[in-house]
Amino acid sequence: MATGAEPHVPAIPGIEHVDYLTSTTAMALTTLPVSLVVIGGGFVGLEQAQLFSRLGVQVTVVGRLAPHAEPESSSALRRVFEAEGITVIDDRAVAVTQDHARVRVRTRTAREAAGERVLIATGRTPRVDGLNLASAGVETNDHGFIRVDAYQRTTNPAVFAAGDVTDAPQYVYVAAMAGRVAARNALGHHEHVDYTGLPSVLFTSPQLASAGMTESDAIAAGYRCACRYLPMSDVPRAITNHDTRSGIKIVADADTGTVLGIHALADTAGEMMLAATYAIKSGFTVTQLADTWAPYLTMAEGIRLTANLFRNELPTSCCA
């Protein structure tokens, strides 16, 4: 089985009395609100917050911005948002009220955000109602997602599942790959999805993109980490673009030099992640990455320049 997910509405007191927007209904608006409070600082919340702000709406975001990103990237993205006039309240919403034409959101630290409309962007929940999973012996986890093993098999060995109905990363390409693996395994194969170097892209401007492990992921996995961060002010293409607001970070195994993760907040950062994924899946070390050809005056060249920092050398396109 493969099915989708729907917007998750958190149990915030008072939310049931408010005509809130979701990522789906927000795109169906025919008139813009004067002001908007976005609850949630993940992918959907940030993309739509910047979209509405650039359409002229006064936007406030309540929640941690890009909570799973590298702190260097999320901090830089916050500065970008604030420079564009988006108010950021780095706190959790605990109550929602509505009076007249204003929705008010109160946080744990008693801060308040008010707007004409409120957009809930706190994740997705699986759409499994009506599947009668219990009668088929298909179990779900505490969040309602179908439990699957490494081969996409559910707790009923005759049933396989893929897509947003499982607790896998909610990306189109992950659902497609898992669906292919589930179908092949249902026909007797023994395959699994390899998440090594998995890329992700947050389509804000600049884009926030990642491939592989973050520094905290690597530490949790038992690696002794070595990391380097290169500001975009040292990337020739970023200088040419007159946009040096962000940077690139490489996470490596300190003992072997193997590249574990590559992260960037930059114009076209998403385009850079294919090269990053190739490097991680191929087991490149930072030395190999630094010695690999990169075309001059491209943003992707920044990956090679960042890798060269592990030699404690200045980043330059003329390095040997």
Dump pLDDT digits (tens) for 145-162: 999 999 999 999 999 999
pLDDT exceeds 80 at position 6: no
Give the confidence band of 171 by pLDDT, cuts at 50, 70, 90.
Answer: very high
Percentage of residues in the chain with pLDDT exceeding 90?
87
Dump pLDDT digits (tens) for 58-82: 999 999 999 999 999 999 999 999 9
Dump pLDDT digits (tens) for 108-118: 999 999 999 99
Dump pLDDT digits (tens) for 230-256: 999 999 999 999 999 999 999 999 999
SS3 per-residue string spanning the chain: CECCEEECCCCCCCHHHCCCECHHHHCCCCCCCCEEEEECCCHHHHHHHHHHHHCCCEEEEECCCCCCCCHHHHHHHHHHHHHCCCEEECCCEEEEEEECCEEEEEECCCCEEEECEEEECCCEEECCCCCCCHHHCCCECCCCCECCCCCCECCCCCCECECCCECCCCCHHHHHHHHHHHHHHHCCCCCCCCCCCCEEEECCCCEEEEEECCHHHHHHCCCCEEEEEEEHHHCHHHHHCCCCCCEEEEEEECCCCEEEEEEEEECCHHHHHHHHHHHHHCCCEHHHHHCCCCCCCCCCHHHHHHHHHHHCCCCCCCCC
pLDDT at residue number 320? 39
The mean pLDDT of 52-62, rounded to a whole number, is: 98
Percentage of residues in the chain with pLDDT exceeding 70?
96
Give the confidence band of 318 by pLDDT, cuts at 50, 70, 90.
Answer: very low
pTM above 0.85, yes or no: yes
